[in-house]
Amino acid sequence: MSLDTLRDEALDIQDETVALRRSLHERPEIGNDLPITRDLVLEALDGLPLDLTLHETTSGISGMLTGGKPGPTVLLRGDMDALPLHEDTGLDFTSKSDGAMHACGHDTHTAMLAAAAKVLSARQDEIAGRVLFMFQPGEEGEHGARYMLEEGLLDVPPLADGTESPVTGAFALHIMTSLPTGMVATRGGACMASADRFVIKVHGEGGHASMPFRTIDPVPIACEIVQQLQLMVTRRIDVFDPAVVTVGRIQAGTTNNIIPHVAEIEGTIRTVSESTRAKVHDHLRRVASKIAEAHGATAEPEVILGYPVTSNDDRFADFTLDTARDVLGAEHVVRLPTPIMGAEDFSYVLQQVPGTMMFLGGTHPDRDPATAPVNHSNLVVFDEDAMPLGVELYAQMALRHLGATD
């Protein structure tokens, strides 16, 4: 089976890939319930030899391509949901849904995965094993991957002859404007951070703003907690196993001449190991409670667990990097020196299957990746010329994992 023509095959259907991407971009949906998105994906997959499963707890779609020869199963993931953001790019196919935008490139992921399904379906008879296409909603903080796993995504039945075909590898792409088109990057081990949310409610005693001595003012106490959380990170956490604690919201009071009875702090915790993750949770609770107690107030710290650390299997990451070098050239492949502190719910898949999350450059050559609007920006624009590269990488990873060689 020749793998040399996969780029040409991806380019042959580039118009279809772009058309699907733009349709998704115009009609973004948020969360786990994506009826329009699901219908567009199903339309794109129509006629392909896939065994489709429509997930019930979400709009997730899984499609199984069974090859002509026995072998294991490889999983390819593409996420489908958008962000709650007003788009200001001015693109001809800008979002038609006010307050929703594909600002993280999930529309490109979905379109690339659907295109990869077409490319691989054309080679069905030559495939030794199966390819499981995971079209996933709810990546933006809604745990869509976890719901699909709980519905049995990885419970792959034996082949028709009774041969077992377990999922032995998983691969996902994420487009980024911090890399130019044509570049890819990943690393073994921790690749992306865990992401947890915390809320701290500081309870004092309210009163008149002119008589603070007759109150327990929660506002300066909350401010002290915020400062001490930063000190906690620098003094209690190993710099070589880092953490980021960011307060994104402080809310208290109703007007200028009332000392409120409560102040609320909300933020995020990012770590790249489960041990440091647990330490930060413990330290945060203690800092908040003890500072409040020292001032005669009380604190209710709550940590809401989010995504775990996205940890690439070392051997699979090496395999991914080697594949990318063969496909794109060594000069276009970067082994990341450190993890990225963003988070991903592909982490749930990687807890159960060896695999890799890889980053795909998506900034047009006439723009500087250092200054181009980044993922999650209302101005971000992704270069569609990157998409055939992503389609080829999906297909190459699947075929090589299943034993195909030139």
Tens of pLDDT, residue by residue, the chain (406 residues): 678 899 999 999 999 999 999 999 999 999 999 999 999 999 999 999 999 999 999 999 999 999 999 999 999 999 999 999 999 999 999 999 999 999 999 999 999 999 999 999 999 999 999 999 999 999 999 999 999 999 999 999 998 888 899 999 999 999 999 999 999 999 999 999 999 999 999 999 999 999 999 999 999 999 999 999 999 999 999 999 999 999 999 999 999 999 999 999 999 999 999 999 999 999 999 999 999 999 999 999 999 999 999 999 999 999 999 999 999 999 999 999 999 999 999 999 999 999 999 999 999 999 999 999 999 999 999 999 999 999 999 999 999 999 976 6
Query: Within 13 A of 168's CA, how many CA atoms are on the CB side?
Result: 16
Same fold, 6-193+309-401 and 194-307: no
pLDDT at residue 3 in the model = 84
User: Residue 154 and residue 173: Cα distance in Å, rounded?
Assistant: 19
User: Residue 147 and residue 71: Cα distance in Å, rounded?
Assistant: 27
pLDDT at residue 406 in the model = 63
User: Residue 339 and residue 191: Cα distance in Å, rounded?
Assistant: 4
- pLDDT of 119-163, one tens digit each? 999 999 999 999 999 999 999 999 999 999 999 999 999 988 888
Q: Under DSSP, is residue 101 helix (H, G, I), strand (E, B) or coil?
A: strand
pLDDT at residue 291 in the model = 98
Q: CA–CA distance from 82 to each of 29, 77, 200, 376 (Å)?
A: 6, 16, 29, 10
Domain limits, the chain: 6-193+309-401, 194-307
Q: CA–CA distance from 355 to each of 135, 372, 383 (Å)?
A: 17, 30, 26
- Other C-beta atoms lying within 10 Å of the C-beta of residue 300: 15
307 is catalytic: yes
Task: Provide CATH code, domain 6-193+309-401.
Answer: 3.40.630.10
pLDDT at residue 404 in the model = 75
Q: Considering the candidates 307, 348, 392, 394, report the single residue annotated as catalytic.
A: 307
Q: Considering the candidates 142, 151, 266, 384, report the single residue annotated as catalytic.
A: 384
CATH architecture of 194-307: 2-Layer Sandwich (3.30)
Give the chain's mean pLDDT.
97
- pLDDT of 295-334, one tens digit each? 999 999 999 999 999 999 999 999 999 999 999 999 999 9
Chain position carrying tokens 């007759």: 214
Furthest C-alpha separation in the chain: 82
- pLDDT of 357-370, one tens digit each? 999 999 999 999 99
